[in-house]
A = this chain, B = another copy of it.
Amino acid sequence: MQRVVNSSFILLVVALLVCSVYSVDLNEFLAQRERLLAEESSRILGGSVILNADEQLVNNVLMAAKTLEFDQSFSTLDFIPADHYFLAKPAMLQSEVFQFIQQMPKGAVLHIHDIAVTPLEFIINDASYRPNLYVCTPPQDPVFFQYASSAPANLLDCQWTLVADKREQEGPEQFDSWLRSKLSLFTLTPQETYPNINSVWTAFENTLIAGSGIITYAPVFTDYFYQGLQSFYDDNVQYIEIRTTLPQVYNLDGTLMDEVQVTQLYKDTFDRFKNDNPDFSGAKIIFAPLRRADSATMTKYVELASQLKAQFPDVVAGFDLVGQEDLGPPLKDFLSQLLAGAVDPDLHYFFHAGETNWHGTDMDENLIDAILLNTTRIGHGYAIAKHPSVMDLARSNGVPVEVCPISNQVLSLVADLRNHPAAMLFTNGFPLVISSDDPASWEAVALSSDFYMAFMGLAGKKADLRTLKQLAINSIMFSAMSTDEKNAAMAEWQKRWNSFILNKYNEYKTKHNQI
């Protein structure tokens, strides 16, 4: 009996010992686990932001909605950022997270193009109803539009017809729906309609050409950009930098304005908008002509950029080049011209670079040239995650990438936004801003659609209000504003932010008290 007790006792002691060894191990392990998770949480974009008590409460509300949406999507596999934007948009508009982001003061939008800045409703419901607008018929792709006091000389393949006549003939609803289809890439069958990157770019450029005939008519031009600013202002964006080719703006009699006059039009429009909305922090342009140019033209472009910068120092932010990057030519073809431009200390570069999936090609190396040319920011930088040395330089020089998630999806770089390489930039706290590139072309909601996709699809389930706050701060910090302008914009943003947090806080308290 004694032996039995003893051996049972020994077994018990051994069992407890084993248990305690394991439980210590487990506790130690769990502590290590927490430390590692905390470390990763601190490395994410916004990881160093400290939220105050009110912000923490609002963050809890936000994260409850985000977690719910994430978990539901995980069950149903209907995850909005994993689907094509054209198909996912209705669900996005219903999302509580999206609505939160819409209301949030988001700071600035820094990467957006002239011909796709303003919602299509302005062109369809306003500009295209103005008198003297002609369309070249039968319409081909691209469709040409032009305002003129009398029908312009016919083109090779089509003749000019008054839009008013055509609209009456076809019925306004049908005509307007057709007009929208010529200005927008939207389709419910994106994969079939745009089977590859070149086909979607061709269609995209056709929408821009169609739009530009309407937009570059002087009276429309100023109203168009005024409405563009309005749409971002309404989306709680307070500052904007527009890349523009500085197209020749025309009058009804066919006379053309030069780049100086067009820059003045921008300035006048920006001033008018700011006058009407004193809490708007302003707007600037980046002169960004087509990259498909010869050396002599590039020399002229760079000289013109310097000249405009000198003439409109507060309006002109700098210089860039546009057009489907893959089709080139690459920046390295213009090194002499761009180095010559760099002699002007006031001319800043904002190069598109790395908007490609072709790693190791000449075009991909635009990232190398952009960073060595002291670019102030990198447009897209989709490929930067594959360039560790460019990343190192960009980080140490404080050069952010302008990430445009929906653009990259619609323009065929990536299908499921969870595979967007900027996800790695988020988790590594790399300097970046979110922008919307050409929201009108894919009917995105100003800046909020892209913010939503970045927050849900790129930054991961755990990214919270700290990340959103940092994105807003980044957008002002990395803008081309002067220090004084930045300070004023930051103060304005902080005011809006405090008010936003207070509103959200009160909303929650009211709801909570009612329940």
Stretch at the interface among A175-183, A361-369, A444-452: A361-369
Counting CB contacts under 8 A, is A197 at the interface?
Answer: yes
- Are B424 and A32 in contact, with the CB atoms below 8 A? no
Which of A77, A196, A386 is most buried by chain B, counting CB atoms within 10 A of its CB? A386
- Are B37 and A416 in contact, with the CB atoms below 8 A? no
A427 with B460, Cβ < 8 A, contacts A26-B335, A36-B372, A415-B416 known: no
Counting CB contacts under 8 A, is A340 at the interface?
Answer: yes
Question: Which A439-475 residues have C-beta < 8 A from chain B?
Answer: 460-463
A196 to B29, CA, bound (A): 35
- Are A339 and B372 in contact, with the CB atoms below 8 A? no
Counting CB contacts under 8 A, is A138 at the interface?
Answer: no
Chain A contact residues: over half helix, strand or loop, or mixed? helix
Beyond A26-B335, A36-B389, A424-B424, list 4 extra A-B contacts (CB 8 Å): A359-B427, A360-B461, A388-B427, A388-B428
- Are B372 and A33 in contact, with the CB atoms below 8 A? yes
Counting CB contacts under 8 A, is A136 at the interface?
Answer: no
Contact pattern, A 367-411, Cβ under 8 Å of B = 1, otherwise 0: 011011000000000000111111001000000000000000000
Name the one of B33, B36, B335, B357 contacting A29, with C-beta atoms under 8 angstroms.
B335
Q: Which residues of the partner chain B approach A368 to less than 8 Å between Cβ atoms?
A: 33, 36-37
What are the 9 closest A-B residue pairs judged by CB atoms, nearest first?
A360-B461, A359-B460, A360-B460, A360-B462, A357-B418, A419-B419, A39-B389, A77-B196, A40-B389
A233 to B373, CA, bound (A): 51
Q: Which residues of the partner chain B approach A420 to less than 8 Å between Cβ atoms?
A: 419
Counting CB contacts under 8 A, is A486 at the interface?
Answer: no
Q: Which residues of the partner chain B approach A508 to less than 8 Å between Cβ atoms?
A: none
A369 with B421, Cβ < 8 A, contacts A26-B335, A340-B22, A386-B427 known: no
Q: Which residues of the partner chain B approach A335 to less than 8 Å between Cβ atoms?
A: 26, 29-30
Counting CB contacts under 8 A, is A198 at the interface?
Answer: yes
A77 with B197, Cβ < 8 A, contacts A26-B335, A36-B368, A415-B415 known: yes
Q: Which residues of the partner chain B approach A393 to less than 8 Å between Cβ atoms?
A: 36
| A393 to B, closest residue via Cβ | B36
Question: Which A308-358 residues have C-beta < 8 A from chain B?
Answer: 326, 332, 335-336, 339-340, 357-358
Q: Which residues of the partner chain B approach A359 to less than 8 Å between Cβ atoms?
A: 418, 423, 427, 460-461
Name the one of B197, B369, B385, B416 contacting A33, with C-beta atoms under 8 angstroms.
B369
| A418 to B, closest residue via Cβ | B357
A26 with B463, Cβ < 8 A, contacts A36-B390, A415-B416, A424-B385 known: no
Q: Which residues of the partner chain B approach A30 to less than 8 Å between Cβ atoms?
A: 335
- Are B461 and A339 in contact, with the CB atoms below 8 A? no
A29 to B342, CA, bound (A): 12
Q: Which residues of the partner chain B approach A416 to less than 8 Å between Cβ atoms?
A: 357, 414-415
A461 with B358, Cβ < 8 A, contacts A29-B339, A428-B388 known: yes
- Are A26 and B336 in contact, with the CB atoms below 8 A? yes
- Whole-angstrom distance from the CB of A191 to the nearest CB of chain B? 8
Name the one of B43, B74, B198, B357 contacting A388, with C-beta atoms under 8 angstroms.
B43
A428 to B359, CA, bound (A): 14
Q: Which residues of the partner chain B approach A389 to less than 8 Å between Cβ atoms?
A: 36, 39-40, 43
Question: Which A285-305 residues have C-beta < 8 A from chain B?
Answer: none
- Are A365 and B77 in contact, with the CB atoms below 8 A? no
Counting CB contacts under 8 A, is A25 at the interface?
Answer: yes
A322 to B339, CA, bound (A): 56
- Are A386 and B460 in contact, with the CB atoms below 8 A? yes
- Whole-angstrom distance from the CB of A150 to the nearest CB of chain B? 44
| A43 to B, closest residue via Cβ | B388
A385 to B425, CA, bound (A): 10
Counting CB contacts under 8 A, is A214 at the interface?
Answer: no
Q: Which residues of the partner chain B approach A415 to less than 8 Å between Cβ atoms?
A: 415-416
Counting CB contacts under 8 A, is A82 at the interface?
Answer: yes
- Are B386 and A423 in contact, with the CB atoms below 8 A? yes
- Are A339 and B25 in contact, with the CB atoms below 8 A? yes
- Whole-angstrom distance from the CB of A46 to the nearest CB of chain B? 14
Name the one of B22, B43, B197, B387 contacting A427, with C-beta atoms under 8 angstroms.
B387
Q: What are some 6 contacts across the A-B interface (CB < 8 A)?
A: A33-B372, A39-B389, A74-B326, A77-B197, A414-B416, A414-B419
